[in-house]
Amino acid sequence: MKVVLLAPAYPPEMPHFTRGLAELGVEVLGVGDHSVGSLPPMVKRSLHDYLQVPRIMDEADTIPRVHAWLRGREIDRIESLWEPLVLLAARLRERLGVPGMSHDAVLGFRDKQLMKERIAAAGLRVPRSRRVRSEAEVWAAAEAIGYPLILKPIAGAGSADTYRVDDRAAMERLLPRIRHVQEASCEEFVDGEEFTYDTICVDGRPVYENVAQYLPRPLIARTNEWISPVICTVRDLAQPAIRPGIELGRQVLHALGMGSGFTHMEWYRKADGEVVFGEIGCRPGGARLVDQMNYTGDVDLFREWGRAIAFGRFGGSTERLYNTAIIFKRALGQGRITRVEGLNELYRRYGRWICAVDLLPVGAQRRNWLQTLVSDGWMMIRHPEWRSALEIANAAATEVTLYAGG
């Protein structure tokens, strides 16, 4: 079994997926723009071969290089788990005649407007939206959809360049800031709680499912620096409040023609119980979400993803043992981290439920919280009871503080 993996070393979770494939006995052939010498040790140990390309996101340049490099080898799969490269992986599959999702199918997971159109055609509830490429089209869409609305890139990832716009004056202030976005989706703002629906699929069938709740919604967390955002996986997926979101997610996968691999979807639950689709990618969620799911069930989903795409089956446990929360910390002040307060007390009270802590050390430069959800570090906790998990997560969010200065 030979699998070509694009960008095996980036983003930070990718080395574990590379490792997971190799542990299954797969020959992993990596393609990336990192030099061999700069690859993490885990990646070097896991790769059977590696091609360095000048610009991995330049399809016109990368495809012929990969084609020439692979000439004479029988390739079973070509995969990417990084959002900007999923279409390149599909192009390579079609060029080389390798099984897997077509470019058209993957485009439905990448182009946010096409995504919603295909899902709406299946009779599922999506936000009203329009594709916009100019300020004139933005104004026309805003008139048709009404405020408040959301403006976000057609091919974006996460909440980068995503804004809630409450009125015409706010739109006038926003437009000069997003002129670098060539194509956007202007859509209805859905007021409700926000969740994920995550899967590992085999031929479109979910063999592993996960739901996590954002606390608060990402748009709120992104506009308030003082907030320590929390994402918490839900242990009990059978509860009535969660089941409609899972059913929506399964129907979305069918509507978009999902193949094998990871998916990450966001959905909303309104006050009246209605569930509404948000968006979906045919790749795992970032910001340590796969680690969270691993801690939720004491499983290795990095390896189980590899088993699903290489051998068409899932070998891990699907039992959910814990609600697992990750808490992202943002330091107070600017400059370098000067001290951390409250962490020892958190360990004293909840030590048995703390899975991992990765905060910036004293002396490290603060990160730009607007550019990375991970911000100045994170903590992972878990507990079998939902209320207790939220209590511990809240303590970590409000009682542990990083300070910066100088």
Which CATH number covers residue 167? Answer: 3.30.1490.20
pLDDT attached to residue 158: 56
Whether 327 is covered by a domain: the verdict is yes
Same domain as 287, residue 201: yes
Whether 112 is covered by a domain: the verdict is no
pLDDT attached to residue 221: 87
pLDDT attached to residue 295: 98
- How large is the average pLDDT for residues 186-196? 94
Same domain as 311, residue 207: yes
pLDDT attached to residue 377: 95
Whether 260 is covered by a domain: the verdict is yes
Q: What is the pTM of this model?
A: 0.92
Q: Examine the pLDDT at 237 and tell me if it is beyond 80.
A: yes
pLDDT attached to residue 267: 98
pLDDT attached to residue 365: 95
Tokens found for residue 104: 């058209």
Whether 336 is covered by a domain: the verdict is yes
Amino acid sitting at position 317:
S
pLDDT attached to residue 15: 97
pLDDT attached to residue 103: 97
* CA-based nearest residue to 55, from 82, 79, 29, 32: 32
Q: Assign residue 74 the CATH number of its domain.
A: 3.40.50.20
Whole domain around residue 163: which residue ranges?
Answer: 128-188
> N- to C-terminal Cα distance for the chain?
54
Same domain as 311, residue 329: no
Tokens found for residue 397: 């969010």
Higher per-residue confidence, 175 vs 384:
384
Domain count of the chain?
4
Same domain as 141, residue 234: no
Per residue in 12-47, pLDDT tens? 999 999 999 999 999 999 999 999 999 999 999 999
Report the percent of the chain where pLDDT is more than 90: 87
Whether 122 is covered by a domain: the verdict is no
Whether 117 is covered by a domain: the verdict is no
Query: What residues contact 162, with CB distance under 8 A and at least 6 apart?
Result: 150, 151, 152, 153, 156, 218, 219, 222
pLDDT attached to residue 178: 83
pLDDT attached to residue 239: 95
* Domain final position from 299, 319, 339: 319
- How large is the average pLDDT for residues 60-64? 97
pLDDT attached to residue 159: 61
Q: Assign residue 276 the CATH number of its domain.
A: 3.30.470.20
Whether 223 is covered by a domain: the verdict is yes
Same domain as 344, residue 303: no
pLDDT attached to residue 154: 80
For residues 8 and 14, is the Cβ–Cβ distance under 8 A?
A: yes
Round the average pLDDT of the chain to a whole number and report it.
95
pLDDT attached to residue 157: 62
Same domain as 309, residue 196: yes
CA distances from 293 to 44, 221, 347, 372 (A): 26, 22, 22, 20
Same domain as 158, residue 60: no
Q: Is 99 left (phi over 0), alpha (psi -120 to 50) or beta?
A: beta
Per residue in 238-254, pLDDT tens? 999 999 999 999 999 99
- How large is the average pLDDT for residues 216-242? 92
Same domain as 176, residue 57: no
Same domain as 163, residue 210: no
Same domain as 268, residue 176: no
Higher per-residue confidence, 179 vs 31:
31
- How large is the average pLDDT for residues 314-325? 97
Per residue in 129-171, pLDDT tens? 999 999 899 999 999 999 999 998 887 665 667 888 999 999 9
Read off the pLDDT band of 223 (50, 70, 90).
confident
Say how far apart CA 277 and CA 122 lie, in whole Å.
12
Same domain as 291, residue 211: yes
* Domain final position from 57, 81, 100: 100
Read off the pLDDT band of 180 (50, 70, 90).
confident
Read off the pLDDT band of 374 (50, 70, 90).
confident
* Domain final position from 256, 290, 319: 319
Same domain as 305, residue 201: yes
Whether 118 is covered by a domain: the verdict is no
